[in-house]
Amino acid sequence: MAGMKRERAMAPEGANTTVNADNATDIESLTDGFHLLIDALKVNGIETIYNVPGIPITDLGRYAQAQGMRVISFRHEQHAGYAASVAGFLTKKPGVCMTVSAPGFLNGITALANATTNCWPMILISGSSEREIVDLAQGDYEEMDQLAIARPFCKAAYRLNHAEDIGIAVARAVRSAVSGRPGGVYLDVPGAVLGQVMDAVEGEKSLVKVIDPAPRATPSPDAVARAIGVMKEAKRPLIVIGKGAAYDQSDDVIKELVEKSGYPFLPMSMAKGVLPDTHPQCAAAARSLVLKDSDVVIMLGARINWLLSHGKGKQWGEPGSKKFIQIDIDPEEMDSNVEIAAPLVGDVGSCAQALIDAMESEGIAPPKEWLDQVHTKAVGNMEKMANKLQNNNDPMDYFAALGVLKEAINTRPETILVNEGANTLDMCRSIVNIHKPRHRIDVGTWGVMGIGMGAAVAAAIETGKQVLAVEGDSAFGFCGMEVETICRYNLPVCIVIFNNNGIYRGDGENWGGGDDPATTVFVEDSRYDVMMQAFGGVGVWAKNPDELRQAVEEALSSGKPTLINAAIDPAAGKESGNIGNLNPSSVVAQARYPQAKNI
């Protein structure tokens, strides 16, 4: 029966600090696992828990709230987990997600794995059932060997067995999450530990505040000299700024490096805004040119992975035409895809500062022709785009809708943009300028759908700022129920759904000719706005740019939870947005389905 507990010893032998509450005369002199866990988080500066309640952690959430923590309850653990990971990205402190055992834990695992993949610090705390029953596979309530299952999905996994170990366990989890390359950590908390009672003074002493959890790491002088040597040879240099640089929060040093070197810079998706997209050295609008023609590339907290075609191929120009300088906290990242001529291992701020200091005497300045070439290309592309954004096509297309949102963010640059989808993602990324660091949160390294609502909640909670979540209708479907969470906590979140009736496009057909809809289409003209109204939020159906502009303006000035269902031409999108080339194909399939050629 759920909730039935076997009698078990409360204290390990020799642990004389553990006492039984029944025998205690003064309850005030005691504490328990619940309170120790809350205190251990608080002592390490963690003030918010993102969770879904249930056995054995329901009371833990209640007590945390009673002890002054912010406890944000979601409708599904995946979104609580995404929120925690985004909190980690935004604050450099581990975001904490709390779940029940087995199914709740597994629902949280996707988010934990995503945090690890993105190098964001997060701690997943899951309650677990009776150890001795789990280990003998005797079928306990929500039984699962969670510790073993979590391991491949995170940087470190720990289990607590005694209340007096809570302090050290939380300290270990915090340090593992934020030190070196940040990532996800799993902390397994058997329900029985929460109920263990011990002396309050001893409990207090057992807490550990992590000192200098992510020590700054300076590169060696040799490594700096090597990098300067490469920079001195550069004729067509480039700096690629990644989300590791955004995470590092050394915004002023990065600005100084970019401006003193004079190098053009290319922001990766979530590094947009580390320097404003409107900065004169921003080469985002000349992306193809700078990737192809650059000869020296400084990678600043950005991996050379699929998002950069692994540093190889047509996009990167002639093979062997580049030298890479890579700044990364993780030495093992070097040479992951291509040779790194000058690895600089350390935190972005320290490495950038070391380069700035060493550059002073070297007179580093890129040739004017290169800068002019990049600038001319960028300006030309931006002008072409500006015209498209003004269109008044009926039905509304991505350009017109994004023209409206671009203006909204330009007017209110403090707004945090959350963005997911395929076309909705790729086009919003290239059209909407970001002006402040860590003001764009998106699908990250995996391109995961469903991060939107968790990210929006975390952004609003952690920063208190207005959030604009630009969501493909499919992307939104992965997390849509969390609009209730947004309404419940009355968060300043405006969701704009780009509703093209489907995945990539809304005009797909069933190639078998049957009655079932195509695999990529949804119910036509779905009223996501009415769904928002059901929870007391503002819902608007916007069918043209003027209606969209008005609804966004009202949402951003009122701060009310709002969902704008923006009708987008079902025929406007491309298969997989910008990455259609990653879809596998074969001559057999192409021959069998002539339709495949038109996609």
Of 60, 417, 448, 453, which one interacts with ligand TPW (CB under 6 A)? 448
Question: Counting contacts by CB under 6 A, is residue 450 touching ligand TPW?
Answer: yes
Helices (H), 535-574: 545-558
Q: Which does 422 bind (CB under 5 to 8 A by kind): Mg ion, ligand ADP, ligand TPW, none?
A: ligand TPW
Say which residue the tokens 């609502």 belong to: 453
Q: Helix (H) and strand (E) counts for the chain? A: 23, 19
Q: How far, in Å, CA of 431 to CA of 451, rounded?
A: 21
Helix ranges restricted to H, 348-450? 348-359, 368-389, 398-411, 423-431
Residue 316 or 504: which CB sits closer to ligand TPW? 504
The residue from 105, 498, 521, 569 that contacts ligand TPW (CB under 6 A) is 498
Nearest residue (CB) to ligand TPW, 186 versus 498:
498
Q: Write out the DSSP string of 36-104.
A: HHHHHHHHTT--EEEE---TTTHHHHHHHHHTT-EEEE-SSHHHHHHHHHHHHHHHSS-EEEEE-SHHH
Residue 441 DSSP SS3: strand
Nearest distance in Å: CB 119, ligand ADP: 4
- For ligand ADP, the binding residues (CB under 6 A) are 118-119, 181-182, 242-244, 247-248, 268, 270-271, 301-303, 305, 307, 328-330, 333, 347-348, 445
524-583: which residues touch ligand TPW (CB under 6 A)? 573, 577
With CB under 6 A as the rule, give the number of residues binding ligand TPW. Answer: 18
For ligand ADP, the closer CB: 189 or 351: 351
Q: Return the residue matching tokens 């491949």.
A: 152
- Closest to ligand ADP by CB, 60 vs 245, is 245
Shortest distance in whole angstroms from residue 515 CB to ligand TPW? 23
Question: Is the Cβ of residue 142 or residue 328 nearer to ligand ADP in the bound state?
Answer: 328
- Draw the binding track, 371-410, toward ligand TPW (x: CB under 6 A; -: no contact): ----------------------------------------
- The partner in contact with residue 188, picked from ligand ADP, ligand TPW, Mg ion, none with C-beta cut-offs of 5 to 8 angstroms by kind, is none
Question: What token pair was written down for 551?
Answer: 């609804």
CA dihedral angle for residue 409, residue 411, residue 413, residue 416, rounded to 10 degrees: -40
Specify the pairing of strand 48-51 against strand 95-99: parallel
Contact call for residue 500 and Mg ion (CB under 5 A): yes
- Which tokens hold the place of 308? 């950069």
Asked if residue 111 lies in contact with residue 153, where contact means CB atoms within 8 angstroms, the answer is no
Strand order, beta sheet including 184-190: 70-73, 48-51, 95-99, 122-128, 184-190, 156-159
Beta bridge partners of 116: none
Residues in contact with Mg ion, shown as a per-residue x/- string from 456 to 475 under the rule CB under 5 A? ----------------xxx-
346: left (phi over 0), alpha (psi -120 to 50) or beta: left
- Smallest gap from residue 576 Cβ to ligand TPW (A): 7
Cβ-based nearer residue to Mg ion, 366 or 452: 452
Alpha helices, H only, 280-367: 287-293, 348-359
Strands 122-128 and 184-190: parallel
Binder among 249, 281, 294, 500 for ligand TPW (CB under 6 A): 500
Cα gap 303→1, rounded to integer Å:
50
Q: Tell me if 570 contacts Mg ion by CB under 5 A.
A: no
Instruction: Determine, following the binding rule CB under 6 A, whether residue 418 of this chain makes contact with ligand TPW.
Output: no
Kindly tell me which of 171 and 422 has the beta carbon lying closer to ligand TPW.
Answer: 422
Q: Is 397 in the site for Mg ion (CB under 5 A)?
A: no
CB of 454 vs ligand TPW, minimal distance in Å: 13
> If you count them, how many residues does the chain have?
599
Residue window 463-482: x/- pattern of binding to ligand TPW, with contact defined by CB under 6 A = ---------xxxx-------
The beta strand positions in 177-244, using DSSP E, are: 184-190, 197-199, 237-241
Q: For the CB of residue 548, give the shortest distance to Mg ion in the complex, in Å.
A: 16
From Mg ion, ligand ADP, ligand TPW, none, interface partner of 450 (C-beta below 5 to 8 A by class): ligand TPW
Please, are residues 92 and 120 in contact by the beta-carbon 8 Å criterion? Answer: no
Among 503, 521, 551, 563, the residue binding ligand TPW under the rule CB under 6 A is: 503
- Name residue 421's beta-bridge partners: none
> Which of 344, 335, 328 is CA-nearest to residue 247?
328
Q: Which is nearer to ligand TPW, 61 or 577 (CB)?
A: 577
Name, in order, each residue with C-beta under 8 angstroms of 585's C-beta and a sequence gap of 6 or more.
596
**CB of 437 or CB of 472, closer to ligand TPW:** 472
Q: Is residue 585 classed as helix, strand or coil in its secondary structure?
A: coil
| 419 scored as a contact of ligand TPW (CB under 6 A) | no
The angle at the Cα of 305, spanning 304 to 311, to the nearest 5 degrees, equals 50
- Which does residue 186 touch among ligand ADP, ligand TPW, Mg ion, none (CB within 5 to 8 A, set by kind)? none
Q: Which is nearer to ligand TPW, 193 or 475 (CB)?
A: 475
Give min distance, CB of 125 to Mg ion, in A: 35
345 vs 495, which CB is nearer to ligand TPW?
495
To the nearest whole angstrom, how small is the minimum distance from the Cβ of residue 568 to Mg ion? Answer: 7
Q: Which one, 184 or 577, has the nearer CB to ligand TPW?
A: 577
Residues contributing to the site for Mg ion (CB under 5 A): 472-474, 500
Residues contributing to the site for ligand TPW (CB under 6 A): 421-424, 447-450, 472-475, 498, 500, 503-504, 573, 577
